[in-house]
Amino acid sequence: MCQFTKPFQDALYIIEKIEQAGHQAYFVGGCVRDLLLKRSIGDIDITTSATPDKIQTIFDQVIPVGIEHGTVIVRHNKVSYEVTTFRVESDYSDGRHPDSVQFIDKIDQDLARRDFTVNALAMDKYGKIIDLFHGQEDLQNGLLRTVGDGMDRLKEDPLRILRAIRFSSQLGFKIENDTLSAIRDVKPAVEGLAVERITAELQKLFAGNYVKAGLIYLTDLRIEKHLPVLKDYQVLKKLSETIRPVHTLSEVICLIHRTEPKMDVRTISKGWKCSNRVLNEAIQLNEAITYYTINGLNNMLAYKLLPDFYMAFSRITEILFSQKVKEEELIKLRKNLVILSKKDLDIDGNDIIKLFPDKKKGPWIQELLIKMEELVIQGNIENKKTILKDWIKWNPPVVK
């Protein structure tokens, strides 16, 4: 019997409602695994004999996210629960989606279609664990083992290869030997996967507490050369020497570029089909790292880099340089900044034009403002119109 934590107590309502309507329902997958490991859980997934149509009649708030695969989201007290009907899958002939799914009314085959024994655990409303594939034993021994024959299961969906390594990075588990040898045989099949699925796994892998072990699997198993972007210049071995968990894809992109400057940030981002938001974040971080390598930590860095990226910046410096820049140091610098944007400067373009009425307007005005901005931020001059004007008179711009 397993002791329920708060998220499970809250989710009992869903299980009980489904049961009251005459169907079976269980907690399943990652949430049961993480409860047994005493890790904090992500989402609660529920597996049920009720079809999606039935679920829609049982609950008021149901979002049909993947009805054809049997998945709906049930909202309860502002929490989303993924509720999936017991199912078996036919082939993944495109390596991406099962060709078709068939709903069934027993949990056994539903658990058998799941990827690893530790993910094939279910739990009823009393906390009783259903463990048909020795998942609890593998949990205790820290092992990732496919449910059923490794070769068949990995060929069926080669994403499982990356999932195995991603879970090793998150949980600190080893990949069991038969599964490992199946990975060695099937690995070229990851080339056929949708890039977005690969990127999502890589992001989770890089965020895992045991990311170093994950990267070592990717390099030792020679999977890197089958992955988008990474296949061009294999950087993971070098990166694995100093890596620590990073939380965003933009950090990963920045790190890869820094490890192999021939791979530029845009190419990596495009190759992984990242959003523009991720690309822009990666550019920001990379600019900040460049600035830092030239100038070190100063007011300008705290000014240019948005506070939202301080944590990410700090994590990257720890990986790239022997000395880490602490987030608090940046926050402290920012607190003491005299201005927070160019608008706060006590001088503007019009003031400058008035100072030099005979000079032709041009980019020199902006350049001068940038110069003033820098002087003020670095504390080299007071942000006061008269003083700024004086400085300009003494250092007149050279206009070509």
- Residue numbers at the binding site for ligand ATP (CB under 6 A): 29-30, 42-43, 45, 114-115, 119-120, 157, 159-160
Which is nearer to ligand ATP, 201 or 251 (by Cβ)? 201
Nearest distance, CB of residue 170 and Mg ion, angstroms: 11
Residue 187 interacting partner from ligand ATP, Mg ion, none (CB closer than 5 to 8 Å by kind)? none
115 binds, among Mg ion, ligand ATP, none (CB under 5 to 8 A by kind): ligand ATP
Q: How far is the CB of 138 from ligand ATP (least distance, A)?
A: 13
* Shorter beta-carbon distance to Mg ion: residue 19 or 43: 43
CB of 157 to ligand ATP, least distance (A): 5
The one of ligand ATP, Mg ion, none whose footprint includes residue 157, by CB under 5 to 8 A per kind, is: ligand ATP
Minimal distance in Å, beta carbon 219 to ligand ATP? 23
Which of residues 158 and 271 has its CB atom nearest to ligand ATP in the complex? 158
3-state secondary structure the chain: CCCCCHHHHHHHHHHHHHHHCCCCEEEECHHHHHHHCCCCCCCCEEEECCCHHHHHHHCCCEEEEEHHHCEEEEEECCEEEEEEECEEECCCCCCCCCCCEEECCCHHHHHHCCCEHHHCCEECCCCCEECCCCHHHHHHHCEECECCCHHHHHHHCCHHHHHHHHHHHHHCCEECHHHHHHHHHHHHHHHHCCHHHHHHHHHHHHHCCCHHHHHHHHHHCCCHHHCCCCCCCCCHHHHHHHCCCCCCHHHHHHHHHHHCCCCCHHHHHHHCCCCHHHHHHHHHHHHHHHHHHHHCCCHHHHHHCCHHHHHHHHHHHHHHCCCCCCHHHHHHHHHCCCCCCHHHCCCCHHHHHHHCCCCCCCCHHHHHHHHHHHHHHCCCCCCCHHHHHHHHHHCCCCCC
Kindly tell me which of 159 and 282 has the beta carbon lying closer to ligand ATP. Answer: 159
Interface residues with Mg ion (CB under 5 A) are 30, 42-43
Closest to ligand ATP by CB, 171 vs 302, is 171
159 contact choice in Mg ion, ligand ATP, none (CB below 5 to 8 Å, kind-dependent): ligand ATP
To the nearest whole angstrom, how small is the minimum distance from the Cβ of residue 72 to Mg ion? 15
